[in-house]
Amino acid sequence: MIACACAATNDGVAEPSEVKLESILPAIRRCAAYAFRRVRRSLRDDLIAEAIANAYVAFVRLIKRGLATLVYPTALARFAIRQVWDGRRVGVRRSAVDVMSEYAQVNHRFTVEQLTRRTREILDG
């Protein structure tokens, strides 16, 4: 039998009960900001907020399943960023038949635009 002579240390690794979203939030925000750095400013802030919301949902799911040891900020951030780029929003259903849905517009390759005054004049006649 081989026994380890060294004492067991934690080395800064968080215990499952100690993992809190507040401690990993700055790393998630930093990854999201880097991923959306080429998007215009007004849209970038919304995308970063969406990524944080997606990361929170994934974080809660992992904690509920008892997998707190798998909570890594970079992995959560990458997952959340991919969800945002794919158009998956937290709390919003994806509808392929709703004309105003971004999901339907992307999948069916059309856009919804505002009618201008000139277009209205042409349509009226």
pLDDT of residue 32: 96
Q: Please give the mean pLDDT across all residues of the chain.
A: 81
**Of 83-87, 105-109, 117-121, minimum mean pLDDT range:** 117-121
Q: What is the pTM of this model?
A: 0.66
pLDDT bin (cut points 50, 70, 90) of residue 12 is: very low
CA distance 122 to 3: 87
Burial 49-67 (b: 16+ CB within 10 A, else e): ebbbbbbbebbeebbeeee
Mean pLDDT of 39-68: 93
- Between residues 119 and 29, the one the model is more confident about: 29
Contact 73, 23 (CB under 8 A): no
pLDDT bin (cut points 50, 70, 90) of residue 110 is: confident
The alpha carbon torsion through 72, 33, 51, 108 (nearest 10 deg) reads -130
In tens, the pLDDT along 60-105 reads: 999 999 988 889 999 999 999 999 998 888 877 777 778 887 778 8
Q: Which of 120, 31, 17 is nearest to 83 (CA)?
A: 31
Domain spans, the chain: 16-90
Cβ neighbours, 10 Å, residue 30:
14
pLDDT of residue 115: 74
